Amino acid sequence: MKALTFGDMAQRLALQRQGTGLKRSVATLSHELTTGAVKDKASKLRGDFSMLSSVTNAMNMASARKTSAQSAGIFLSLQQSILGNLSTTAQSGVLEQIVRNTTANGGEISGGIDMMARKFQESVSQLNTNFAGRALFAGISGNGTALIAADDMLDAMLSDLTTALPAGADAEAAQAFIAGWFADGGQFDATAYLGGPPIPERVALGHGVTVGVEITAQDQSIREFLAALATGAILSKGLFEGDLPQQKAMLERASFSLAASEKSLIGLSARLGVEEERASIGRARAEAEHTAMAITRAELTEADPYETAMRLEQAITQLDMIYNLTARLSRLSLSAYLR
């Protein structure tokens, strides 16, 4: 009778250890085949991570520039949209009808005053628009609003006008005062504007491309537009109340001033359009650079699909063979051995 030994058990344990290693290999190779990237980057790069680090840094910088360009583009686009709305307001046809009508009645004039007051409120509200917690037209002090409320502005203007002008002043004097109120260095700056100076720094988007976001509610074009609207809107606060000729004269002056301010707003919009184009160019370049760096990074860490598939197939075959051998050894017993 043959003596029993531990050889079969030792062989079984050796196969188990080998099977565990093959399982890890199959998992690793399956992951690499699925993702296309090697799991052991150190081995792939032979321990030299300098190129990978440089490419990754370049990709991150491109991503940051892309985000900056995108944010600047949205900021400028919102400003452009608001300027477009202001230009549309400056094209109002209601006042033109009143101006042409030499016998405009109280109802028509009252309607014109109401419209001017409403448009003034809407325009001030739009100039106080925030984007991502920052006021669009408040310059460096962008955490609040650019302007005080429209009603407060009209009240302050009427108070200053009443104090400054003598009794019996006509529409010409009132309009001149309002124009001075909105002029550079006037009460508009001291009372109505809550923002700060224009943002002096241009946003660098890489490759020499920069974009500026310096337009504020203090821009001359916006001042002229608000002054034109205020010339009619201030009548809603009781100026020249009951004096239809003077009210009509104020609305006429408001109409002419609005037409002039529209041309100025178009020029401001064109200036803003140049910056929008710069932001678009900066974003396109940053996106292209990010894509190029991402491709380079993938090439440095990619797994050869053909080689990975071959090694995976080989590992699976070996693992299957070990399973068969292990199963055969597991069926051995003393009774089977004695037989």
Phi-psi region of 240 (alpha: psi -120 to 50; beta: other; left: phi over 0): left
* 268 vs 38: which has the higher pLDDT: 268
Site of tokens 């990237």: 37
Q: How far apart are the first and last CA of the chain?
A: 11
Single pTM value for the model = 0.75
Of 143 and 3, the one with more pLDDT: 143
Q: Rounded to whole angstroms, how far apart are CA atoms 267 and 261? A: 10
Which one has a higher pLDDT value, 108 or 281?
Answer: 281
**Cα dihedral across residues 238, 243, 246, 252: positive or negative:** positive
Question: Which residues lie closer than 8 Å to 148 by C-beta, 6 or more apart?
Answer: 156, 191, 192, 194
Express as a percent the part of the chain with pLDDT over 90. Answer: 50
Is the per-residue pLDDT at 332 higher than 60?
no
pLDDT, tens digit, 9 for 90 and up, residues 147-198: 999 999 999 999 999 999 988 889 999 999 999 999 999 999 999 999 999 9
For 336, what's the count of Cα atoms within 13 Å in the CB-facing half-sphere? 6
- Of the candidate CATH numbers 1.10.10.2840, 3.40.50.300, 3.40.50.150, 1.20.1330.10, the domain formed by 53-294 belongs to 1.20.1330.10
Burial 122-145 (b: 16+ CB within 10 A, else e): ebbebbbbeeeeebbbbbebbeeb
Q: What is the DSSP letter of 235?
A: G
Question: Would you state the pLDDT for residue 338?
Answer: 45
